[in-house]
Amino acid sequence: MTHVLLPVWWLLRRADAVVVIGAALTAGAAGAGFRRIAAQLGRPPETVRGWLRRFTGRVEAVRRWFTALLREMAVDPVMPAPAGGMWADAVAVIDAAVTAAAARFGVLGVPSWEWVSAASGGRLLAPGWPA
């Protein structure tokens, strides 16, 4: 068996940096379609559609996982208010977890989506995550 260590700016099984994928997920949470997101990011529409579909298939599990992480990170966690749908709720709790981690540990030193990659072990869009 071979093991490969990935830097935090990558996700498993993805060729684009996590900040690009995170921008696509954030835009999707705001209601943008995959073609518009692809044009904004300069990525093929099929690639962006794949990211969005993978996230859609696990959005509730990701929201629950990052909610639990937020509760562990924050001294007195404040859960984000409903943001207007499952996608927006998931992205809001991801942002809240990043904010809680920065408050607890000081400046993270990496962009938010890189922290998300590290927190998920690079598995944010990988099959079988979260367990």
Q: Domain ranges for the chain, please list them.
A: 18-119
Rounded Cα distance between 46 and 23, Å, is 16
pLDDT digits (tens, 9 = 90+) for 52-86: 999 999 999 999 999 999 999 888 888 999 988 99
93, 63 Cβ separation under 8 angstroms: yes
Q: What is the DSSP letter of 48?
A: H
Rounded Cα distance between 103 and 98, Å, is 9
Q: What is the DSSP letter of 4?
A: -
Residue type at 43?
A: R
pLDDT digits (tens, 9 = 90+) for 84-120: 899 999 999 999 999 998 888 876 666 789 989 989 9
pLDDT of residue 88: 94
